[in-house]
Structure formats: C-alpha cells, structure tokens
C-alpha cells in the first residue's frame, strides 16, 4: 500500500479544509471500501482525514422526518427503532447488504460513496475509464454479466453496488453536505451520476464537500414495503438485480407507490413511470406485471447480461407482491 | 521474532525499538522506487510525514498498550505482527472471508479493513481474550463439542462472530444464524456443525 499522511479531524470544518486544499486527500470513516481499494492500489490518497470522531452519528426525529447522521453505522440504522417504525424499507435494504461485520463498520455516508465492484475497475491490468480516464472500458466488449442495463454510456457500463441507496432514492431522501462554499442539500436522486463522458465521477459532490446527514421525509410507507435482492448466493453478495418497493394501500387499491432498482445502473435507479402506472390500480399480479413492463422500457443489454431483462421485471413483481402482502 | 520468549512484553523497550527498526526497514523495502526518487529530489513532506509513526493507545483483551504505528498498519497486522496475537487470522485480507473478525468496543468487525490508528482509545477483544484462564468460553467449548471446524483456519473468526451473533440476539433460528454468520466463510464447509454449536450455546442460555 502507498504511504499516506494520517490526520484526525475533531471538527467538520477542519476536515473540510484539510481535504479541500489537498486534491490527493480523502476522508476516511468506516474504511471498508477505501482500505480495500488502497490495498489493491486502485486508490492512492496521499493523505487520509479520519472523520470518525466528528459528532455526526445521531439518528433523530426531525419535524417531518428522520435525520441520519452521515457517520451512523449501517448496523445502527438497520436496528434503530425509529427507522424500523418510520422507514422499514431502509432497514430491510441495509440488512440485505454486506455482512454483519461490515455493517458494524460502514457508515451512511460511506455506503453512498462506495465505488463500483466492476471487475475491470478492480483489475489494474485492464483498461477502465472510471479508474483511469481515457484508458477505455474493458467491460463493454468483455465479461459484462454484472453490468448495467440502464443509463450506460460507451465510456462505462458499471453499476452502483449500494443496497441502502436504492431504498433512499425510493424514499425521496435528501443528502446534506458541507463544503468550502458552505452547506447545501442534494436530492438523493441527483446525488449519484450516470457515467456519460466522465465515469470517474460517481457523484455530484464537489472537492472537499463532506456528507453530514441524510434526511428522509415521513411518508405512508410504514407497512407494505419490501427489498427484494437477487444474488448468486443466499447472502453476502452484491445484487444481480434488486428492487425496493413501497406501497400505500387503501383496501386493495394502490394510493401511492415507490419503486427503485439496484444492480442495473451507474446510480440507484428510481422507477417513477412504473410508480405512476400503479396509482389507482388494484394491488394485483396484473398491475405489478404492467408496472414491471413500464419499468423496463429503455433497458439495453450487453453480451452477457441479457438475463437481467427477464430477471429485472420478475424481481419487481416479486418485490411488489411481497410488499402488498406485508 | 518468533524466538523471543512468550513472556516478553510488547511494551518492552528493546522489543519496541527492534519492531520500530524492522518495520521502518520493511516500509523502505516496500516503497516503490519512483516515490523514493521523488522524495530524494523534492524532500516531499507528505512522504516524510507518512513514515512518521503515530502514538496509539489500545486496550487489547484487558491489557492496555501504548504503541507507535505507521498509519497504513491495519488493525489485523498490528494484532498479529506487533502484539503477536496470531489467533486472529489473515484470510483474504479484503473483508470477504471474516477470518480476521475481532470485537471493537464489543462490536464484531473485520480487522483487515481498518487502520489501527483509527482505533485510538478503543477496546479490542480477540480470540485470545475469550477464555478465562484454562476455562474455555462456552462458544469455544461448543465448537469443540460439535466439530465446528476441520482445518481450523477460519475458526477464530467464526467463534468471534458467533459470540457476537448470540449477543446481538441474531441466533433465534437456523435461518437467522446462517444469515448473521454469512460474513464468515469456511472452505472446509463445517457450516452445519457451526450452526449446531451456536444453537447449543443459545439454547444452553449461558452468558456469552
């Protein structure tokens, strides 16, 4: 691993200043992805600013929602009574991700900022525009079984690996950040980016900006929710495809729906049109199947991931079916 | 280093000096030549600073340690190489196998994916800290009783994770145990017996 300078921040502003003035510096919180990437030489920060001592780990009630501190651990959020009561979909998504040990280390902010697990991003001997802009995409004509079916570009077809983020985008969360130019709020759907011509940028965070919290507005989605994750073993694997589904039912009629997919795009993939197709419909197999068809419009497979064109809609239907029965 | 007597304290000055020297030598040996060249040409303060060791206080298995560590030392490497607690195993070293599982302030974590300096002031429990003298921890006894291992390499991590699994209240059923032990891989495939050991401890109601 490369040498680096280590500093421990005691105040958010100190951490922001340290990273803003040094382009080779990175924040470190749980470290579960960054340490992995540093060991492999994929990321080589010259300075690490340890933010674990910052007072940003609270999970609390706000006027009209929940606020998750950026340093709240994934396990703490998943087990939190307020989260389970008000946003059970988030708890389900978190518990579908990683392992108990990793959830005890990984934070809310770090989970959002984890890098893709595309095998070409991880293989230093292969080209990757995300790792080394301009070097090409190894996955485009390579083994692309795990890759995107939505929103890809000819520069990058990687997918975002977070489960938590799929739930948060479905739940209309907002990301709170502080940076050299002050504080701002970013809608969760606008936080991650599509690859376009700049796949090296995963998010719309600017240099030195620090995630401080995530706000989730209260909603009616406290009962009929499900996170359906399909993976190649029963647990502790990244999603082939996943779906976060939340329904607000009046009897058997759908009053409102939230849907998002993971494992299909460079960002957590909100399915707004499919949600709209469900409103006013009965919570039946036929409605779910129609929503899944709407959801898959515009999907495009590569050589090895055409299975996602079938697995995707099936996962959506299964998620909706389970949510309705919950 | 293995020839040193077991009783030698990690605090011992001569050992600390020796470790300091040897790890600096190791670090020098690992620095890629372009970095050394750059450092020599520009006296890059970042490279110089990166060589500096950082003071670190840890309580490990009830014993307080005052240490000096290079920033890039993982908690796993600190435990194994500096404190000579080799019960905690390095399997994959990338957080995928769970062999390095220890408890930090009572919570199970992968010690390979964490820099030691991040744990200043915290309390670490390793597999060596579970037994009370010659009395095995109930989970250790259960693993022996149920043959919860073959080669034994993943076992320290399995046991640390299993203790946490019961403490967390995630050992309510076979399915729940399997889900909450999924971060520990056993290539010998002793899973059924590991689950049986955990169920035995859980049902025995002993304090873990």
Interface test with A, best of B42, B182, B186 (most A CBs within 10 A): B182
Q: Examine the domain organization and report whether B180 and B197 are in the same domain.
A: yes
Residue A274 lies in a domain: yes
A140: in domain: no
- Say yes or no for a CB contact (<8 Å) between A32 and B113: yes
Closest CA to A263 of A308, A323, A214: A308
CATH code for the domain of A315: 3.30.390.50
pTM, rounded to two decimals:
0.91
CATH number, position B164: 1.10.150.120
- Which chain B residue shows the shortest CA-CA distance from A39? B94
Residue B108: the pLDDT is: 98
Q: In terms of residue numbers, what domain contains A262?
A: 224-325
pLDDT of residue B52: 82
- For residue A285, tell me if it sits in a domain: yes
Residue A321 within any structural domain of the chain: yes
**Domain span holding position B48:** 13-129
Domain boundary among the residues B102, B129, B156 is at B129
Give the helix/strand (H/E) hosting A50: strand A47-50
Single residue among B99, B129, B159 that ends a domain in this structure: B129
Q: Is residue A31 part of a domain?
A: yes
For every residue of A259-277, DSSP letters joined together read EEEESSSSS-EE-HHHHHH
Q: Is B178 on the interface with A (CB under 8 A)?
A: yes
Q: Assess if residue A159 is contained within a domain.
A: no
A50 touches chain B (CB under 8 A): yes
* Listed residue (A67, A91, A87, A93) closest to A79, CA to CA: A91
B109 within some domain: yes
Q: Do B72 and A4 touch (CB under 8 A)?
A: yes
CB A74 within 8 A of CB A164: yes
Q: Give the per-residue pLDDT at B24.
A: 45
Are B79 and B108 part of one and the same domain?
A: yes
* pLDDT tens digit at each of 326 positions of chain A: 999 999 999 999 999 999 999 999 999 999 999 999 999 999 999 999 999 999 999 999 999 999 999 999 999 999 999 999 999 999 999 999 999 999 999 999 999 999 999 999 999 999 999 999 999 999 999 999 999 999 999 999 999 999 999 999 999 999 999 999 999 999 999 999 999 999 999 999 999 999 999 999 999 999 999 999 999 999 999 999 999 999 999 999 999 999 999 999 999 999 999 999 999 999 999 999 999 999 999 999 999 999 999 999 999 999 999 999 99
Residues B17 and B39 in one domain: yes
Closest by Cβ to A52, choosing from B46, B101, B118: B118
Dihedral, B182, B184, B190, B195 alpha carbons, nearest 10 = -50
Contact A105 B114 (CB under 8 A): yes
| B114 in a structural domain | yes
Q: Is B37 exposed, middle or buried (0-12, 13-18, 19+ CB in 10 A)?
A: exposed
Nearest to A100 among B31, B117, B180 (CB): B180
**Count of A–B CB contacts within 8 Å?**
100
CATH at residue B67: 3.10.20.30
Cβ distance of A6 and B117 shorter than 8 Å = yes
Which among A29, A84, A26, A83 has a CA at the least distance from the CA of A51? A29
Number of neighbouring beta carbons within 10 Å of residue B187: 11
Please give the pLDDT value at position B35. 40
User: In terms of CA atoms, which chain A residue is nearest residue B99?
Assistant: A101
Backbone phi, psi, residue A323, to 5° = -65, -45
In a domain, B168, yes or no: yes
Q: Indicate whether A42 belongs to any domain.
A: yes
| The pLDDT value given to residue B31 | 40
- A189 falls within a domain: no
Top residue of B108, B126, B171 to mutate, by most chain A CBs within 10 Å, is B108
State how many domains chain A has.
Answer: 2
B8 falls within a domain = no
Mark whether B149 and B121 lie in a shared domain.
no
Residue B206, in any domain of the structure: no
DSSP 8-state symbol, B74: B
pLDDT, position B66: 98
Distance CA B19, CA A229 (A): 47
Q: State how many domains chain B has.
A: 2
Residue to test with chain A: of B69, B113, B176, most A Cβ within 10 A? B113
B78 shares its domain with B51 = yes
Same domain, B106 and B21: yes
Residues of chain B with pLDDT under 50: 1-48
Tell me whether residue B171 is in a domain: yes
In this structure, is residue B2 part of a structural domain?
A: no
Give the model's pLDDT for residue B49. 60
Per-residue model confidence (pLDDT) at position B50: 61
Residue finishing a domain among B107, B129, B151: B129
Measured in angstroms, the CA of B152 and the nearest CA of chain A are apart by: 20
Minimal CA separation from A6 to chain B, in Å: 6
How far does CA A21 lie from the centroid of its chain?
28
**Are residues B118 and B19 part of one domain?**
yes
Q: Tell whether B3 is covered by a domain.
A: no
Same domain, B161 and B98: no
């Amino acid at each position: 691993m490369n040498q680096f300078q280590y500093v421990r921040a005691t105040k958010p502003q100190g951490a922001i200043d340290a990273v803003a003035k040094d382009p080779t510096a990175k924040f470190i919180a749980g470290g579960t992805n960054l340490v992995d990437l540093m060991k492999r030489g994929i990321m080589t920060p010259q300075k690490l600013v340890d933010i674990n001592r910052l007072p940003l780990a609270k999970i609390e009630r706000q006027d009209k929602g929940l606020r998750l501190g950026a340093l709240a651990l994934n396990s703490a959020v998943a087990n939190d009574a307020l989260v389970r009561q008000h946003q059970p979909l988030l708890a389900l998504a978190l518990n579908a991700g990683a392992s108990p040990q990793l959830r005890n280390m990984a934070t809310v902010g770090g989970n959002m900022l984890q890098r893709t697990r595309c095998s070409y991003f991880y293989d230093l001997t292969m080209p990757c525009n995300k790792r080394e802009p301009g070097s090409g995409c190894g996955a485009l004509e390579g083994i692309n079984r795990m890759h995107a079916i939505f929103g890809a570009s000819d520069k990058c077809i990687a997918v975002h690996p977070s489960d938590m983020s799929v739930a948060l985008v479905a739940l209309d969360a907002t990301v709170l950040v502080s940076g050299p130019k002050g504080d701002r709020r970013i809608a969760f759907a606008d936080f991650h980016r599509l690859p376009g011509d700049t796949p090296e940028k995963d998010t719309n965070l600017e240099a030195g900006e620090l995630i401080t919290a995530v706000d989730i507005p209260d909603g009616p989605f406290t009962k009929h929710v499900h996170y359906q994750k399909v993976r190649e073993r029963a647990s502790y694997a990244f999603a082939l495809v996943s779906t976060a589904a939340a329904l607000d039912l009046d009897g058997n009629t759908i009053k409102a729906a939230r849907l998002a997919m993971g494992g299909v795009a460079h960002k957590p993939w909100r399915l707004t049109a499919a949600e709209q197709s469900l409103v006013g419909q009965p919570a039946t197999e036929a409605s779910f199947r129609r929503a899944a068809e709407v959801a898959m419009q515009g999907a495009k497979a590569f050589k090895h991931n055409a299975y996602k064109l079938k697995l995707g809609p099936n996962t959506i239907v299964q998620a909706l079916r389970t949510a309705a029965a919950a | 280093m293995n020839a040193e007597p077991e009783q030698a304290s990690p605090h011992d000055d001569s050992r600390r000096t020796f470790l300091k020297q040897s790890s600096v030598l190791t670090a020098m040996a690992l620095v890629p030549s372009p970095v050394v060249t750059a450092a020599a040409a520009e006296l890059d303060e970042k490279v110089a600073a990166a060589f500096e060791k950082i003071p670190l206080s840890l309580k490990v298995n009830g014993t307080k340690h005052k240490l000096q560590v290079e920033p890039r030392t993982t908690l796993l490497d600190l435990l194994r190489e500096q404190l000579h607690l080799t019960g905690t195993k390095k399997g994959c070293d990338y957080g995928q196998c769970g062999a390095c599982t220890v408890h930090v302030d009572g919570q199970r974590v992968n010690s390979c994916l964490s820099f030691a300096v991040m744990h200043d002031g915290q309390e670490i429990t390793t597999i060596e800290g579970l037994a009370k003298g010659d009395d095995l921890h109930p989970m250790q006894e259960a693993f022996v009783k149920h043959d919860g291992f073959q080669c034994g390499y993943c076992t320290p991590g399995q046991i640390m994770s299993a203790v946490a699994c019961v403490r967390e209240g995630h050992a309510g059923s076979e399915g729940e145990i399997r889900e909450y032990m999924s971060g520990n891989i056993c290539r010998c495939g002793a899973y059924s017996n590991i689950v049986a050991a955990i169920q035995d401890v859980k049902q025995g109601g002993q304090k873990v």
